[in-house]
Structure 1
Amino acid sequence: LATAGVAVAGSASAADLPVVAEPVDYVQVCDAYGAGFFKIPGKDTCLKIGGRIRTQFATDNLQDNEGDKYEDYSAYAKGYLYLTSMTDTEIGLIKTYTEFNSKWDQAGSGKVEAGSAYLQIGASYADILIGRTTSQFDGFTGAVDAGIITRNWSDKSTLQFALAKSFGNGVTAAISAEDSSYRDGDTNSADYVGKVGIAQGWGSFEVAAALHDTVEGAEDNYGYAVRGTATINLDMIAEGDAFVFQAAYADSATHYLGANEVLKGLVTGYDDAEQLDAEGVKGFGLGAGFTHFWTSEVATSIDGSYLSLESDLASGNYDIDRWAIDASIGWYPVSGMVIALDGGFANTEYDAAGTNNDVDFDDAKIGARVQYTF
C-alpha cells in the first residue's frame, strides 16, 4: 500500500508541473524608420509594405481637329505594390525600394511591370544610390490630381548611379551618371547630372544641370540642359497651399524639357526626342502650378507649361510652340484617398519654313480619378 501511495503521489506531482510553451516570434515595430515598418523575424531588417489602387477615365480629344466624330475614351485600373526595407549595418544604413504595378485598360489588355528599384547606402560622406528611380534632374512635375492633358517638363525615371549629400540647414546636393538611352540619347553611354537646393520654412529653391550624350551621327556629340525651380509655401492663406514656378533651357537635349513626344503623331519622323537632338534643336520651357485647400478635405489645383523650340538647319528651319493648362478639384475624405475631376487644354504649333507641313493642333480632355494609397 505504501508503494502504491508513493506511485499515486508521484503521478499527481507530474500532472501539476507547468507546461513549457513553444517560443513565439512576435512582430516588432521599427519606430526609428517611420510609421509602418516592422522587423522581419530572425533578421536585422525592417520592412514596410505599401500599395495603391488607381482608377481613371478620360475622354478622347474634344476638339474637332479633323472633322471626325468623337467616339473614343480611355480608362484603366492600376495596382501598385511598394516594398521598402531598412537595415542598419556597420557600413551605414542600407535602404532598398522595389515597386511593382499591374494595369488593365478599356481595350481589355493588361500588363504587369516593375517600376522603380534601387539600393541606397547611407555612408558617412554621402548617400550612395544605385538603380532605377526619378532622375536627379527632375523638379516640378505638376500640381493637379490627375493631369489629363500632357504638360511639358522633365518627368523621367532612369537607371543611375548617384551621390547625394545633406549639408544641414536645408541645403542638399547630388550628382549622378544616368543611362543616356532613357533620354533618347546614345546607347551604352551616360548623361551626367548635378543639382543643389535649399529648403526652408518659406519654401525651396533648386537648380540642376545635365550633360547629354546624343545619338551617333547627331549634329553635336553632346547637348546640355539647365533648370531652376522655386516653391513658395502659402500656409498663410490655407495650410498646404503652395505656388511653384520652373524654367528650363536645353540645347540638343530636348527630353529634359519634356519635348520627347511633342510632335508624336503630328509630324512624321518625330515620335521622340532623338531626331530633335540630332538636328541640334534648342529651346526653353516654363512651368507653374498653384494649389489651394478650401478645407482640409477639398482642394483645387491648376498648372501649366509653355514650350518653345527652334532648329537651325541648312536644309530649312522650323519652330515648335506648345502651351498646355490643366486644372482639377480633389476631395480627400480619408487619409490616402483622392476623388478628383480634371480637365485641360493644349495647343501645338509647328512652323516649317518654306514648306506646307505646318501644324496647328488643339487638344482638350476631361476626366476623373479615384485613388487610394495605403
Structure 2
Amino acid sequence: MNRNGIFCCAGALVLASGAHGADAIVAAEPEPMDYVRVCDAFGIGYFYIPGTETCLKVGGRVRFDAVYGDASAPDADGTYTNTRVELYLSTASDTEYGALKTNITARFDYDPHNDDDNGGNFPDATRTRLMVATIELGGFTAGLQNSLYESFIDYAGNVENDDIINYGPSEVPMLAYTYNAGNGFSAFIALEDDGQNDDDVPGGASDWVNVAGGVKFDNDRWLVGLTAGYDESAEEGAIKVRVGGTFDAFSAFVMAGWNSDGDSFHSYAPEITDGFGWGDWAIWAGAAYKFTDKLAANTQLAYSDSDVLSVVANLQWTPVSGFLIQPELAYTKWDNSTLDDDAWSGMLRFQRTF
C-alpha cells in the first residue's frame, strides 16, 4: 500500500472514533417544572403545595394605631401607639371524611409604652401571641381559637372598642363539634379550657371542662341565634341571644346576655373593670351603613345592669383594595357604687391586609 493510502485509512479511523465519541455524550433532558397550581375547591387564595394534594393559603395584615386616652380606663390621658403584625396560614385537603383543615394566626405587637427592661433582662415592648391553632375534620375542631360562645353568633359591632362590656372569652383551647345543615341552620357544642380550677386540683391544673353550646339560623340577610356557657370553676353560666339583619347598604343588630349570678363574673359573663361584671344582664346594639364601596360608618351602644354605658362610632375608608383608614371615637360612663367616672378615647388606624 502506498503512502497516500495509509494516510487515507488513518484519517478514516480518526473520523470514525470521533463520531463514536460524540455519540457517547448525551445531554440530560431538563426536569419538567412543577408550577404552582391554583386550588379553588376551598375558596379564594389557596394553591397546591408543589408535589402534594394539600392546598395552602397565606395572608396577614400590618396595622398602626395612634390612640388618645383609653375608653376602658378612666383618667388615662395621653397618646398611645401600637404597631401590629398578624400572619395567617391555612391548609386544606380532601379526605374520605370531608375536608381536613388547619388554621394558624400569629400576632406580634410593639408598644413603646411597655419598653421597660424588667431589671435589665427581658424587654417587653414587643409581645408575641399565638391567636389561633386549630385542626378541623368532619365538623370537629381541636385547638386554640376564640370561644364559639363569643364568635358563633358574631361579635358585637364592627368597631375596635366593641368589648368595653365584654361578651365572651377569647383564645381558649377547645374540643368542639359544629353541625351545619346547609340551609342556614347550624349548631355547636364545645368543651373549653379556661386555665382555671376551683382549687380542688393542686397546682396549675384546669378543671377542664367549661361547656358551651349554641344554635343559629343565618341566611346572609337575617341572623337569629343563641349561645350558652357554663364555667366549671365559678359554677355559674350565661346565655346570649342575637337578632341581626342586612338590608342593602344598611345593617343592624341587637344582642342581650343574662348572667346566672349577677353578683359575680366569670368566663361567659366577664369582668368589666375594677372587680365587677355585667350584674344580671347586659345588652349590645349596633348599626352600619355602607355609603360606597370605599366608605362605611359603624356605631355601637352597650349597657349593663351594673350601670356601665359604652358608645362607639367610626368611619372606615378603603381608598384602595386592602388598605383601611379608620378614625374612631369612644365614650364610657361608669355609674355605680364601685366606680363613678367616665372616659373618652380617639383612635386613628392604618391597616394593610393581604
TM-score class normalised by the smaller sequence = 0.7 to 0.9
Query: Does residue 86 of the first structure (1) align with residue 92 of the second (2)?
Result: yes
Shift of 1:155: 5.1
Shift of 1:232: 0.4
2:134: which partner in 1? 118
Deviations 1:162-199 (A, max 9, x none): 011111211111111111447x9773231111111111
Bigger Cα Rg: 2
Q: Name the aligned partner's letter for residue 245 of structure 2.
A: I
Query: Does residue 210 of the first structure (1) align with residue 229 of the second (2)?
Result: yes
- Give ranges in structure 1 of 5+ residues lacking alignment: 216-221, 265-269, 309-319, 352-357
2:4: which partner in 1? none
2:43: which partner in 1? 34
Q: Name the aligned partner's letter for residue 331 of structure 1.
A: W
Q: Name the aligned partner's letter for residue 373 of structure 1.
A: T
Shift of 1:263: 2.8
1:189 to 203, 208, 213: 208
- Distance change in 2, residues 1:81/1:165 (3 Å): same
1:343: which partner in 2? 329
SS at match of 1:168: coil
Q: Name the aligned partner's letter for residue 304 of structure 1.
A: L
Shift of 1:245: 0.9
Query: Does residue 5 of the first structure (1) align with residue 15 of the second (2)?
Result: yes
SS at match of 1:153: coil
1:251: which partner in 2? 260
Q: Name the aligned partner's letter for residue 298 of structure 1.
A: L
2:293: which partner in 1? 296
Query: Does residue 164 of the first structure (1) align with residue 171 of the second (2)?
Result: no
What CA distance in whole angstroms lies between the structure 2 residues aligned with 1:59 and 1:368? Answer: 9
Deviations 1:314-355 (A, max 9, x none): xxxxxx21010100011112222210100011111222xxxx
- Distance change in 2, residues 1:149/1:307 (3 Å): same
1:98 to 104, 113, 124: 104
What TM-score comes out, normalization by structure 1 length? 0.78
2:304: which partner in 1? 307
Q: Name the aligned partner's letter for residue 349 of structure 1.
A: D
What TM-score comes out, normalization by structure 2 length? 0.82
Query: Does residue 60 of the first structure (1) align with residue 69 of the second (2)?
Result: yes
1:226 to 239, 242, 255: 239
Q: Name the aligned partner's letter for residue 254 of structure 1.
A: F
In the alignment, is the contact (CA less than 8 A) between 2:224 and 2:244 conserved in 1?
yes
2:351: which partner in 1? 371
Query: Does residue 324 of the first structure (1) align with residue 310 of the second (2)?
Result: yes
In the alignment, is the contact (CA less than 8 A) between 1:83 and 1:98 conserved in 2?
yes
Give the % identical residues.
24
SS at match of 2:15: helix
* C-alpha RMSD over aligned residues: 2.7
1:263 to 273, 292, 296: 273
Deviations 1:277-310 (A, max 9, x none): xxxx8511110111111111011110121111xx
Summarize the alignment of residues 139-178 of structure 1 with structure 2, pairs less than 5 Å apart: 139-147=153-161, 150-154=164-168, 156-178=170-192
Shift of 1:14: 6.2
Query: Which stretch has the larger CA shift, 297-306 or 2-11?
Result: 2-11
